[in-house]
Amino acid sequence: MANYYVHDSTKHLTLIGNGCANKIFDTTLVTTAVNRVRKIINAVSYGLVPDTGFYTSTVFMGMGQFNTSQLNKMKQFIDSVSVFVAQGKIQWKSLNEIYEIWNTDYKNKPFWIQCAQIPEVYSVINISSIPEGFYNEVNNSLNMRDTVTAYLRSTASPYSIVDSSKRKIDSLTFTGSFAFLNANSGTYYIALKHRNSIETWSISGGIPFVRPSIMSYNFTSAQSQAYGNNLILKAGRYCVYSGDVDQDGVVDAIDFSLVDNHAFNNLTGYINTDLTGDQIVDGSDLAVADNNAFNFVIKIIP
Ligand SMILES: [Ca+2]
Ligand SMILES: [Ca+2]
């Protein structure tokens, strides 16, 4: 076994296999070991830990304790995580393969995390929302995935912020999984903020929230899903109003002039005046701002 632990001091590898370790003893329940794997998969998928690298996890038995009972547990563990392997969420790698990933694709660095650092108790709301300008009616998709911040707010004045979560809304499902670490069970408003949309709150009176659980809320299914019915219908889907470039809660001549200026200068890229999400500021963005300014679109909150 010793060879597996030899470190080549001429290579820049200094750390390997130091992820959340699963030690399987005679007394260890297989479900405990499997749940450890499930926890880190969930934490990655909900953005609670970084998803820009990979987590190496060692699964092993105590030295000198290799016996039939442990061998059987190891087999059960391997069978139990095969569902995650099939989903592409985990992979079996040799130490050599992990080293090669580290060596040839340095930007995808392995993370180091203790089992105890993986968040365990939190709630998730799968929130569906469409920024009006980003919605491509022909493809029934968003022109880009973009980041939205969801706040949980008290239903009693002054409607203070209880928790928040930032996720990308998927361009095909119009949904993001927002994890909330702090909020206790109760009734809250969801307040959605997006970089160039009108801030939009959930249905009057708030929504029930259970910790821990997985819930969903859909801002696209009906106009009444937003406080004050503050949504616009576009090709059968309700969208949050676009055009609040300066994020002051109103779409007006100031937003229009910001878009106008950038359109005149042919600006491109990830900029807030791109109301359609196609990375270009032009007449189509102006049309959205113009229309919503003309219609006095404002945020409507309790
Ligand atoms: Ca504005
Ligand atoms: Ca655009």
pLDDT in tens, the chain (302 residues): 333 444 444 544 333 434 577 777 778 888 988 888 888 889 888 988 888 888 877 666 555 556 788 888 888 888 998 899 899 888 887 777 777 877 787 777 777 778 788 888 999 999 999 999 999 999 999 999 999 999 999 999 999 999 999 999 999 999 999 999 999 999 999 999 999 999 999 999 999 999 999 999 999 999 999 999 999 999 999 999 999 999 999 999 999 999 999 999 999 999 999 999 999 999 999 999 999 999 999 999 99
For residue 200, report the distance from its CA to the centre of ligand 2, in Å: 22
DSSP at 184: P
For residue 133, report the distance from its CA to the centre of ligand 1, in Å: 15
For residue 197, report the distance from its CA to the centre of ligand 1, in Å: 9
Six-digit token string for 283: 């007449």
For residue 190, report the distance from its CA to the centre of ligand 2, in Å: 27
Where in the chain does DSSP place strands (E)?
A: 22-24, 54-55, 59-61, 110-111, 123-128, 135-136, 141-142, 146-154, 161-169, 175-180, 186-194, 200-201, 207-209, 214-218, 232-234, 237-239
d(CA 54, CA 46) in angstroms, rounded, equals 15
Please name the residues in contact with 113: beta carbons below 8 A apart, sequence gap of 6 or more. 19, 20, 40, 49, 55
- Full set of structural domains in the chain with CATH: 2-117 (no CATH), 123-247 (2.60.40)
d(CA 251, CA 293) in angstroms, rounded, equals 5
Count, residues in the chain = 302
d(CA 263, CA 154) in angstroms, rounded, equals 40
C-beta separation of 3 from 40 below 8 A: no
d(CA 263, CA 288) in angstroms, rounded, equals 13
Which of the ligands is closest to the CA of residue 282? 2
For residue 252, report the distance from its CA to the centre of ligand 1, in Å: 6
DSSP at 109: P
For residue 134, report the distance from its CA to the centre of ligand 2, in Å: 8
Nearest-CA neighbor of 191 among 218, 227, 156, 221?
A: 227
Within 10 angstroms of residue 7's Cβ, the number of other Cβ atoms is: 10
The pTM of this model reads 0.85
For residue 283, report the distance from its CA to the centre of ligand 2, in Å: 8
Which of the ligands is closest to the CA of residue 246? 1
Which of the ligands is closest to the CA of residue 241? 1
Which of the ligands is closest to the CA of residue 199? 1
- Distances 68 to 25, 65, 72, 83, 248 between C-alpha atoms, Å: 11, 10, 6, 24, 67
For residue 177, report the distance from its CA to the centre of ligand 2, in Å: 26
